[in-house]
Amino acid sequence: MITIIASALVCLSLFNNVHTAEGRTIILARPGDDVNLPCRLKPSDDAVFGGLGNRISWTKVENDVEVDVLLSMGVHQVEYERFEKHVKLLKADENDATLVIRNLRLDDFGIYKCEVVEGMDDIVNEVEIKMHGVVFPYQPNLRRYILNFHDAEVACSEQDAVLASFEQLYQAWKGGLDWCNAGWLSDGTVQYPINKPRVPCGGKVPPGVRSYGRRNKTSRFDAFCYTAGYNGEVFFVDQKLNFTEAVQVCENKGAELAKVGHMFAAWKLNGYDRCDAGWLADGSVRYPISRPRMKCSPTEAAVRHVGFPDKKHKLCGAYCYMVHQ
């Protein structure tokens, strides 16, 4: 029987990775991390705001509704429901309204809003916590559904990744991952994420992470791998090469032929975008598109998979991976 699990959250991230997108601060974190969600009242040059203002309110957006997280008014502070003893204000100085979340849980990922009111002055700030890393489906050269559980672990390891956990796959689904082939997860279950329900993928039932449950580890499926990132750089060599030449040209540059995990991390975490097919270390040919456009990937951002061509043919360039020293 197939079960469907669907509801809240977002995907992918690292504690000290912070950037801004569309006016919102993005924090990349992992479950178990402690994170600081920044928020500051910016006083005028001639104003001093003692005691951090009259009112500080933190809320979290869940299913388009703002849920109360913390409210502080002078010496009084309230943490709401599941956030009790889980969050606090940093209070680094008089104008600091930073929210500290300790030991991140799965349901902590998402969008938060901070509002600070001091008399006639106020500030509203948005912060989003995303999970660091990327989940990607993987099947080897021959065909789909040939990996038992141990083979799936090895396949992910060979791509500089590990078998994904359910929580990681769930977050990836919330981030838009849609894949019709079932794959092993680290807990021994077999599942797959569907955002666009269709007949070949379990029927036109609601979107969700669909599960075949825990299976005998000798059963054969694909794999969902997870990579948390890398300490290096993926770059493209624009030459017509066969596979052996691709390996050599990367080595000549002090690098190695990139693995699938390197490619997905560069694409998802760093926005790598290149409309040129290139060899990867597993013998596949792929290319990363972060900005969908005609003749590359017209409808979606994705790592496009061309296939596993004959390694003897001079077909395309190479994606190399160089470790930062």
Please state, in angstroms and rounded to a whole number, the distance separating the CA atoms of residues 305 and 279. 11
Tokens 């825990």 correspond to what residue? 214
**SS3 label, residue 139:** coil
DSSP 98-134: PEEE-S--GGG-EEEEEEEEETTEEEEEEEEEEESSE
- C-alpha closest to that of 109 among 4, 27, 225: 27
DSSP for residue 93: S
Structure tokens, 291: 């900005």
Beta strand 278-279 with 316-323 is parallel
Percent of the chain at pLDDT above 70?
A: 88
pLDDT, the chain, mean: 87
Q: Give tens-digit pLDDT for 273-305.
A: 999 999 999 999 999 999 999 999 999 999 999
Does the pLDDT at position 200 exceed 50?
yes
Q: Among 33-37, 120-124, 185-189, which stretch is predicted with the lowest mean pLDDT? A: 120-124
What contacts 280, CB < 8 A, 6 or more positions away? 257, 258, 259, 260, 263, 286, 319
- The pLDDT tens digits of the residues spanning 56-96 come to 999 999 888 999 999 998 788 999 999 999 999 998 888 88
Torsion-angle region of residue 261: left (phi > 0), alpha (psi -120 to 50) or beta?
alpha
Which residues share a beta bridge with 176?
A: none
Distance CA 261, CA 83 (A): 35
pLDDT-derived band of residue 43, with 50, 70 and 90 as boundaries?
low
* DSSP β-bridge partners for residue 123: 116
Close Cβ partners of 61 (under 8 Å, ≥ 6 residues apart): 67, 110, 111, 112, 113
Burial class (CB in 10 A: 0-12, 13-18, 19+), 114: buried
Q: Is 268 helix (H, G, I), strand (E, B) or coil?
A: helix
Name all contacts of 82-85 with Cβ < 8 Å and 24+ positions apart. 82/107
CATH topology of domain 133-227: Mannose-Binding Protein A; Chain A (3.10.100)
Q: How far apart are CA 54 and CA 175, in angstroms?
A: 37
Q: Residue 214 phi/psi, 5° resolution?
A: -75, 130
pLDDT tier, 115 (very low <50, low <70, confident <90, very high otherwise): very high
Burial of 142 (0-12, 13-18, 19+ CB in 10 A): exposed
- Where exactly are the structural domains of the chain? 17-131, 133-227, 232-323
pLDDT tens-digit profile of 138-160? 999 878 899 999 999 999 999 98
**Of 3.30.300.130, 3.90.550.60, 3.40.50.2020, 2.60.40.10, which CATH number belongs to 17-131?**
2.60.40.10
Q: Which amino acid is at 25?
A: T
The two domains 133-227 and 232-323 share their CATH topology (first three levels equal): yes
**Is 232-323 CATH 3.40.50.2000?**
no
